[in-house]
Structure 1
Amino acid sequence: MNKLVSIAAISSYLLFATASFSQNNTGALEKPVILAQTNQLVPVYRWWNPNDKDWITLRAGEIEDWKLGSWGYRDKQYSFSCSLTPLANSVAIYRWFQPNDKDWITITKDEIPDTKMYQLGYQSKTFQCYVSRTPLSNGVSVYRWFQPSDKDWINLPEGSVPEYQLGRWGYQDKTFQFYAWP
């Protein structure tokens, strides 16, 4: 599959899916709800692989640190926390791998149909955890950014990396994904 067509197709699909979600939302914020107790939460980290120019988002214990290091990942940084059990207003997030580009993407359940992900060359769908569809007390908004020159996706909580820095790195197409615990 042509890598440029694949990336363009997924970018278009993600922008359409986000617009569809926004049209269904009334725009009114619901009262923040605490979905999980602190002891139910697990940390989520992002890792950088300079050789593949790729970020991967992983919850604690998903892949052992030594193994990620052997694959060339480094610069482990805390991102947000999530729940391993489903809760009210929660949605599952999954990690997918694109072997031709050596790219990982994290998306919410049904954000993109599995058949579409397979058509785009992604495989190895892996459950990560549950996050919230609605705002949380003291929660964070998590966004996905896309870097077109190296075809990379990154998931970041609001304010964790300044937007001007992401722009300098070539990231664009900021898209809201979900709410999580800081």
Structure 2
Amino acid sequence: MAKHIKNRNIAFTILVAIGLVGASYEAYQYHTLSTLNKQITAGKVITDDSYPYLQKYTAAYDQGNKSDYKHAVQTYSQLLDQSPSIENQAKIHFNIGNNLFVFGLIRRINEDGTLQDEARHAYTQAKIAYEQSLRLEPNDMSAKFNLSLLNSMMAKNMKAAPKEQSTMELSNLPIGLP
């Protein structure tokens, strides 16, 4: 009987030790993720190489906050190459649309009231990004609102600005057919 109790005590001690190791690991993971969440909430760029997706995502977000919209769009696009979940793809497309929309807003209008080519291109790309976001997450109210706002900002007949024709003459070329 004493040997049987001793064996049970050894088994129980081993189980308690395994439980303590597991609990310690979970506490470490909780602390690590809590630190990451605090950095994200504070708007800091993640520098830990253990989380490359979060690192790139926060870098893109930071670039957008610093008005570096072209690089933010490029960085968000690189995130799509990492095969994120459908939900994250929708968020990435939404953020791409936001950066392009703001980039289009800060572009100047030509003297005749037409949009510059960069602004028109940015609006068109933003519309595509919002639509892609809505294809992935059809119930995303933020994407729906931003798309409707973008559509109201875009002129119905958004025409390209007239290009100045070159007055250069090529005098050494023969005119007409030989």
TM-score, normalised relative to structure 2 = 0.27
Q: Which has the higher contact order (CA 8 A, sep 6+)?
A: 1
In terms of fraction of residues, the more helix-rich structure is: 2
* Greater strand content: 1
Q: Normalising to structure 1: TM-score of the pair? A: 0.27
